[in-house]
Structure 1
């Protein structure tokens, strides 16, 4: 199969801790579905740990795993955000943000020490996580006449499609989610129903 329509993420937030020479590294991993959640998570952790020296993080997002961002938050460049991201990459996880909150213990750890500490803290948090596989789905909206409702619902049931919204009037509108590899046969079946219109919404 050319297109892999599954991706790996974590089921719920987890935490981990790593200590080195007095410094404490608290790692927080969260599953997220969009980049807009990053700001809220960072604000919450900064409010909860106002005395911490650094709040470093990495995020990887998108079902094609292509979008990522890192932030060293004052640590030497490449010693914090990048090791966090590399851990996400090595575990092939996406739609995840990991924030590592550091309390400085008075002893400088040096570049290799920092890289190792941020990686170890991230691994601790992810070791607690339940990794789940999710399918990449497309969302479509279809419009059709009320008299075609039974035919449409039969296809939804036969193909085990998730109905997200269903408005039944003279002209009905139904929004559903379909696994990417199922799109072609499903749309072909729906198109056989007279005067039905399918509009692609988004992938997720």
Structure 2
């Protein structure tokens, strides 16, 4: 099962370290060109800031990885931000950290800690979702089996979607492979094979990174 984490909602955060302000902005991006637009906007918005450092990781296989210290000592800003992105296993993510210098030098270690902390603060405000490859299971069943299927779905943390009531009931669920297999087995067993099931594999599924609940998009 292939999976990785992506930004579902932009976020921002700020820390102050020895009078220097570090403002982090986190964005979901699908290309380097899109990331460049956000970086340029940050430079215009924070035109009076000393530094606008950033890091990005784009693509399911990290095809694009870029970072910039923007005038800070080499390796003290962009790389720490990039390491935060990698540490969270994020893809298609851009983090920009703007620094307003407070008049006190932080030193190499202090800068690394500050940019790392700011990036983490920005991510704490952003929405993060897990993208997985799963299955869409379409069902057709009799009304007499509705309560059973609703119970099975609830027990496995799934939700019946696209429900239609005609002479029979049709519905669908989205599930990761292990859960899909268990759902199919239980539905087949509890309906004595009367429920008709059609399984479409290779479907993209999104789960809330914290709650673990499938997001309906």
For normalisation by structure 2, the TM-score amounts to: 0.61
Residues 6 and 131 in structure 2, CA contact (< 8 A), matched pair in contact too? yes
Look up the match of 1:84. 81
Matched with 1:21 is 18
**Distance in 1 (alpha carbons) for counterparts of 2:132 and 2:62:** 13
Give the deviation of 1:5 after TM superposition: 2.5
Structure 1 gaps, min length 5? 138-157, 161-177, 182-204
Q: d(CA) in 2 for partners of 1:136 and 1:81?
A: 31
Match of 1:68 in 2: 65
- For 1:12, the equivalent position in structure 2 comes to 9
Q: Which residue of 1 aligns with 2:39?
A: 42
Match of residue 134, structure 1, among 131, 134, 158: 131
How is 1:143-154 mapped onto 2 (pairs within 5 angstroms)?
none
TM-score by length of 1: 0.64
CA distance in 1, matches of 2:62, 2:87: 12
- Distance in 2 separating the partners of 1:90 and 1:64: 15
Query: What's 2:110 paired with?
Result: 113
Equivalent position SS for 2:32: coil
3-state SS of the aligned residue for 1:126?
A: helix
* Alignment map for 1:125-204 (pairs within 5 Å): 125-135=122-132, 179=202
- Indicate yes or no: 2:52 matched with 1:55: yes
Q: Which structure 1 residue ranges, 4+ long, deviate > 4 Å from structure 2?
A: none
Over aligned residue pairs, what C-alpha RMSD do you find? 2.3
